Structure 1
Amino acid sequence: MSDRNKKSDSDSCSGRYIFIHELPSRFNYDFIHNCEVLTEGSDKQPNMCPFLENFGFGIEVENSEGALSNSSWYCTHQFTLEVIFHNRMKRYECLTNDSSLASAIFVPFYAGLDISRFMFGNQNETLKDSLGRDLVQWLSSKGEWKKMWGRDHFLVSGRIAWSYRRKFDNMSIWGSNFRFLPESANMSMLAVEASSWNNDIAIPYPTPLHPSKDSEILQWQQKIRQQKRTNLFTFTGAPRPQLDDSMRGKIINHCQGSRFCKFLDCSQGDNCYNPNNFMKFFQSCVFCLQPPGDSYTRKSIFDSILAGCIPVFFNPGSAYTQYLWHLPMNRTKYSVYIPVRDVKEWNPNIEKILLGFSEHEVLAMREEVIKLIPRIIYADPSSKLEIFEDAFDIAVNGMLKRIERVRELIRNGSDPSVGFAGEDPYKFSF
């Protein structure tokens, strides 16, 4: 970790210094060392160990079927972002050992891996909540905390932010109460999906491509720009028969009944684990359907963008009101929106809508999607991109700006708590 003791007008890190708390290993590294007790939440993989290799990227994948480029591809799991982000943060160019210089304090707590220990069976709430409670007690005892009472602290979750907002003590209810602890409410959390509280902020799910240099991104963009797409649209995913209000069943039926659609069933085998499989699907299609699943968002959104496939959304909470730092405000430039107000009454006419776009409109949208690729990938921490900002860079810059706005309120004599952790029930609606 670098350590700078003076700031000057020419200091390129001025306003960008970050201090990383050296947490006791039980809050992070012990999960890696004991990964066999962690579960991803399905019966397809017995534990998370293979996915935690290579900085959290997972097992490296060869370009065996021509769907990938020649390097930097991994079986990256949707739940490993906190590990990936921590490894990138350890190589961040503006780290400091002197917390008095820091504009932000990073807390490398692996909250998602913690909660994955309690995926199955009824667990005592005290046990589910214990590590989060211990963490805030540890943090609040440090001198760094008292500087802004935690409002300059942030952490990252590889699971959706709702997982830490259990409102009731019921052993059958999923999740912890971590984000409702008073100290935790003073921190900001970056997560793959935000909750309706203002201090939870969404950043992209990790994709399987983790380039080590700009040329790899440029080569990949050129490859998918020239890709021949033989299918109009695809749905890649699994049905949700247990959810009464899920639209996936209707979308699957519509896809299977259309000669223009290609369906990849993620409930079968390892179809959606190996990027050779799902990237080949996405690259062969013009549009990729992205309905909500167990929650608003999906890793598939970013995998399909990586493949140059134009995303089709059915709920604003799937992307438009989530990834405000990473995706364009003008949603029509890179995506299609088909609002579904009542799933039971909905009669899908997706094929007709997508056939209505001209070739010129499709090419323009695809080019915008391709331009987004650097913004939604997490680069290899062992090197540094020179031309592009990746998802990590954008997230860090966004957090620094958020914390600086809090400082500005304090300097102006305003109460920094107003709105900081408030709930917005309309956050995911237009």
Structure 2
Amino acid sequence: MATLGNRRNGGNARKRLWCAIPVSCAVLIIISFTFIFNLGYKHRAVTPEVMITPMASPSMGSPPPPLVVDRCSGRYIYVHDLPGRFNSDMISSCRTLSKWTDMCPFVSNAGLGPRLNNAEGVFYGAEWYATNQFALELIFHNRMKQYECLTTNSSLASAIFVPFYAGLDIGRYLWGYNTSVRDATSRDLIRWLKSRPEWSTMGGRDHFMVAGRITWDFRRLTDDEDDWGSKLLVIPEGKNMTVLVIESSPWHKNDFGIPYPTYFHPSKDSEVQQWQERMRRIRRPWLFSFAGAPRPNITDSIRNEIIGQCRQSRRCKLLECDKGRSKCHSPSSVMGMFQRSIFCLQPQGDSYTRRSTFDAMVAGCVPVFFHPGSAYAQYVWHLPRNHSEYSVLISEDEVRDGKVRIEEVLERFGKKDVMAMREEVIRMIPRLVYADPRTRLETTNDAFDVTVEGVIQRVKDIKGGRVPDFSEQESWKYALTGRGGEHEWDHFFNRTTQ
């Protein structure tokens, strides 16, 4: 009986053991899965650092401490926390920002302005806004808030951002105010910056800011009341900083041109790619087009000649901007014309550059320039150095003197050449637009990313002593070197325009 009982007890024990094994395994699997999941979740949340632990062999005993790879090394940016009078207070008082335009609608949506509808079928998706060309400071600042490598430790920073809305500030005082008023906020900013320990490290040479107007609005040379603009970029402290403007000076080395804001502000990589494909497939019945008005007060302007030649051609589409309620103020009308054109004419406006250039390229239209100052001596971080890859240059002197017909010049380009230029323009679109500042693109570098890379490299070169200390004359020569040889473009520029 005892033997039989033992056998039964042994059998029951074995049954219990066999039943316990799967349960133990299941518990082990659940614990392991939970650990791995939590580890992975933590690693996804850790930015900008990724921890790598070397494998340990049995003979090593305890594994060594994890190695830390800093993905933001060399890319950190410190942002000054400026008093509100230098930025946010201006937005709160948006009705005072312009004498001619109510800027309040344009500072909405983080600086993008009102959303555009697609009633005419010109736009694709919901990432289109009626963006004002002078809203870049607000867009850039809000975009900086999404930058992945911000730091609160200025000693780690590769560059220091100053979120001063210089363009919005001077826009309030350009007409009807004396020089003291025009300079007041800028001088107040300099005093504030010089009181900070971050400034003393390099005297401001590692600082950068966005002044979202053309450089000439900040380069007043005298204190004459009739002289234009402020002195922000000519005072010593202003010269030390890297200043990003929508049009830079060919004669100075501290300001850099970055793209005008356009109407397109994607929030996803797919939106950029879909728009590029759309621009590749769209039918373009017009050989060339022009949107603009004459400049009768500018004696050297060739706009009358351009408008005249366009009117005489059956292959040109003209959008005149000076007659009644012009469609030039309609984003869908302008973008619709550019999308249906192969070449878009971009002569000088009130200054060298035009926002229209970037609207046209976003529409996949090959820009035609008449002066190298309109692009080639401007956007050195965003446009190819070989300008013939994406654009055409026709001398404005030859147009003015009646030596060339624009249509005849453009007709000489073969189909393969035109396709290659258009493809280059379409390929460039991501680096010419500013993504929605409320989001962050995953893999696509936009105009903001390209700009930040350029600034960081410039500060690195300054720290390494690799930025040449050009005199004004040498800066002039350096900026105007064309592909055809040294000083190829000198004759285009007039030194008196500095």
The structural deviation recorded for 1:265 is 1.7
| Counterpart Cα distance in 2 of 1:382 and 1:83 | 12
Runs ≥4 residues deviating over 3 A:
2-9, 341-344, 419-423
Length-normalised TM-score, structure 2: 0.80
| Counterpart Cα distance in 2 of 1:372 and 1:202 | 16
| Counterpart Cα distance in 2 of 1:129 and 1:177 | 6
SS in 1 for 2:476: coil
The structural deviation recorded for 1:103 is 0.8
Deviations 1:184-210 (A, max 9, x none): 111010111111210100111111000
SS in 2 for 1:288: strand
| Cα contact 1:96–1:102 (8 A) shared by 2 | yes
| Cα contact 1:52–1:58 (8 A) shared by 2 | yes
Match of 1:180 among 220, 227, 234: 234
SS in 2 for 1:163: helix
SS in 2 for 1:425: helix
Counterpart of 2:381 in structure 1 is 325
Counterpart of 2:81 in structure 1 is 22
The structural deviation recorded for 1:181 is 1.3
- Cα 1:421–1:110, aligned 2, differ >3 Å: closer, same or farther? farther
Counterpart of 1:132 in structure 2 is 186
Length-normalised TM-score, structure 1: 0.93
What are structure 1's unaligned runs of at least 5 residues? none
| Counterpart Cα distance in 2 of 1:273 and 1:56 | 18
Write the mapping of 1:409-428 to structure 2, written as runs, cut at 5 A: 409=465, 418-419=469-470, 424-426=475-477, 427-428=479-480
| Counterpart Cα distance in 2 of 1:38 and 1:259 | 43
| Cα contact 1:20–1:107 (8 A) shared by 2 | yes
Counterpart of 1:220 in structure 2 is 275
What are structure 2's unaligned runs of at least 5 residues? 1-45, 52-66, 482-488, 490-498
| Cα contact 1:18–1:103 (8 A) shared by 2 | yes
Query: Highest relative contact order (Cα 8 Å, sep 6+), 1 or 2?
Result: 1
Write the mapping of 1:239-388 to structure 2, written as runs, cut at 5 A: 239-268=294-323, 269=325, 271-341=327-397, 344-388=400-444
Deviations 1:208-233 (A, max 9, x none): 00000011011111111111111110
Aligned residues: 419
The structural deviation recorded for 1:183 is 1.1
SS in 2 for 1:353: helix
The structural deviation recorded for 1:118 is 1.7
Which deviates the most, 248-257 or 285-294?
248-257
| Cα contact 1:251–1:348 (8 A) shared by 2 | no
The structural deviation recorded for 1:83 is 0.8
Match of 2:219 among 156, 161, 165: 165
Matched, 1:12 2:71: yes
Matched, 1:403 2:466: no
| Counterpart Cα distance in 2 of 1:132 and 1:420 | 25
| Cα contact 2:49–2:69 (8 A) shared by 1 | no
Percent identity, please.
50
Deviations 1:119-151 (A, max 9, x none): 323x21111111111111110110000111100
Q: Which residue type is aligned with residue 198 of structure 1?
A: K
- Cα 1:287–1:78, aligned 2, differ >3 Å: closer, same or farther? same
| Cα contact 2:159–2:206 (8 A) shared by 1 | yes
Match of 2:254 among 175, 191, 199: 199
Counterpart of 2:25 in structure 1 is none
Counterpart of 2:10 in structure 1 is none
The structural deviation recorded for 1:308 is 0.6
| Cα contact 1:255–1:263 (8 A) shared by 2 | yes
The structure richer in helix per residue is 2
- Cα 1:312–1:159, aligned 2, differ >3 Å: closer, same or farther? same
- Cα 1:328–1:294, aligned 2, differ >3 Å: closer, same or farther? same
The structural deviation recorded for 1:373 is 0.4
| Cα contact 1:62–1:70 (8 A) shared by 2 | no
| Counterpart Cα distance in 2 of 1:180 and 1:10 | 42
Match of 1:156 among 210, 222, 227: 210
| Cα contact 1:250–1:348 (8 A) shared by 2 | no
The structural deviation recorded for 1:257 is 1.4
Counterpart of 2:11 in structure 1 is none
Q: Which residue type is aligned with residue 219 of structure 2?
A: R
The structural deviation recorded for 1:72 is 0.5
The structural deviation recorded for 1:5 is 11
The structural deviation recorded for 1:270 is 5.3
The structural deviation recorded for 1:182 is 1.2
Match of 1:31 among 84, 90, 94: 90
| Cα contact 2:91–2:107 (8 A) shared by 1 | yes
- Cα 1:6–1:351, aligned 2, differ >3 Å: closer, same or farther? closer
The structural deviation recorded for 1:170 is 2.0
Deviations 1:286-308 (A, max 9, x none): 10000011111111111000001
Deviations 1:328-364 (A, max 9, x none): 1111111111122376534441010011111121111
SS in 2 for 1:178: coil
The structural deviation recorded for 1:272 is 2.9
The structural deviation recorded for 1:428 is 4.5
Counterpart of 2:450 in structure 1 is 394
Q: Tell me how large the CA RMSD over aligned residues is.
A: 2.2
| Counterpart Cα distance in 2 of 1:130 and 1:300 | 32
The structural deviation recorded for 1:172 is 2.2
| Cα contact 1:99–1:144 (8 A) shared by 2 | yes
Q: Which residue type is aligned with residue 137 of structure 1?
A: R
| Counterpart Cα distance in 1 of 2:461 and 2:260 | 26
The structural deviation recorded for 1:180 is 1.2
Which deviates the most, 246-255 or 137-146?
246-255
